[in-house]
């Protein structure tokens, strides 16, 4: 059997497709926020996810799609991802796609630190060193006088923290909930929380004139998360995690094509440090899993 037809090979292909979708989502978001109210775009992105997940999965799961043993955790997870998306939608108005994505990819390392604190997981000194290396990379990207230095850096900082908590909670729920149920509730919670803000900022003419952008954002966000679920159904996190960092390459490429932006040489060094730290963290996870160790 060809490797790319094996479960692991298919999982890797799906995770790369996921990162491509998320990079395209960020690029489309940066463009769409120039055309329509951000809060409307954000609301529609989650409405699309809830409706499409319901349409695709209810015929398969029936009422089991709505069955959850952790409603409060589902609500919290949805709120965390909504906060993450809001930081992305607002932050991308001011920051380049490639550098923004690189800083966001620090999230798995932050999630490791949060797991050590909240879940009492034992974290090795090697992982703390990798986290420090990633932080050094961020300093290269956001240094004073650089291309992205400014108040808007608050958005990726908050995003990294909220997405780190999101990953910890996702890990907590992974063995207890159907992933499609979780996906549906994520869309539903985001829609409900954003509805008052969307009504307040409603612009019918923007919706009618730029509806393809609304559809594109909804599709890319929903498709990317569905591919993420399918990838983890076929291969484990130790196999897939190194490939998550292809999103930095896709985002930088799309930022160049769509906005003619290329990071400066110091930013490239920072992006390299962040990617190397993240991949190192993923490879360490794979090594520990292959060794059969429980220690992080």
pLDDT recorded at residue 237: 65
* Domain-wise residue ranges, the chain: 3-291
Predicted TM-score (pTM) of the model is: 0.84
Alpha-carbon span 239 to 104, nearest angstrom:
21
Helix (H, G, I), strand (E, B) or coil at 202: coil
Is 104 within 8 Å of 262 (Cβ atoms)? Answer: no
Task: For residue range 38-68, list pLDDT tens digits in order.
Answer: 999 999 999 999 999 999 999 999 999 999 8
| Phi, psi values for residue 10, rounded to 5° | -65, -40
Alpha-carbon span 256 to 27, nearest angstrom:
10
Task: For residue range 148-167, list pLDDT tens digits in order.
Answer: 656 778 888 899 888 878 87
Instruction: Tell me the percentage of the chain whose pLDDT exceeds 90.
Output: 34
């Amino acid at each position: 059997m060809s490797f790319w037809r094996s479960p692991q090979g298919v999982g890797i292909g799906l995770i790369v497709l996921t990162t491509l979708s998320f990079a395209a989502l960020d690029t489309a978001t940066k463009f769409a926020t120039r055309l329509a109210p951000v809060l409307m775009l954000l609301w529609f992105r989650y409405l699309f996810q809830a409706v499409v997940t319901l349409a695709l999965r209810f015929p398969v799961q029936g009422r089991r799609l709505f069955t959850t043993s952790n409603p409060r955790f589902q609500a919290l997870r949805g709120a965390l991802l909504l906060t993450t998306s809001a930081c992305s939608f607002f932050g991308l108005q001011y920051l380049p796609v490639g550098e923004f994505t690189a800083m966001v990819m620090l999230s798995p390392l932050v999630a490791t630190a949060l797991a050590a604190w909240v879940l009492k997981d034992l974290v090795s000194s090697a992982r703390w060193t990798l986290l420090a290396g990633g932080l050094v990379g961020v300093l290269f990207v956001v240094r004073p006088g650089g291309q992205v230095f400014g108040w808007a850096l608050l958005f990726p900082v908050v995003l990294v923290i909220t997405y780190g908590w999101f990953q910890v909670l996702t890990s907590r729920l992974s063995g207890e909930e159907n992933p499609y149920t979780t996906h549906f509730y994520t869309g539903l919670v985001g829609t409900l929380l954003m509805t008052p803000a969307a009504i307040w900022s409603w612009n019918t003419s923007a919706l009618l004139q730029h509806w393809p952008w609304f559809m594109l954002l909804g599709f890319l966000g929903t498709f990317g998360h569905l591919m993420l679920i399918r990838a983890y159904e076929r291969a484990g996190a130790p196999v897939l995690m190194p490939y998550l960092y292809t999103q930095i390459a896709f985002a930088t490429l799309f930022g160049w094509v769509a906005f003619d932006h290329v990071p400066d040489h110091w930013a490239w060094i920072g992006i390299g440090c962040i990617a190397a730290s993240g991949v190192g963290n993923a490879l360490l996870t794979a090594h520990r899993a292959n060794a059969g160790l429980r220690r992080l």
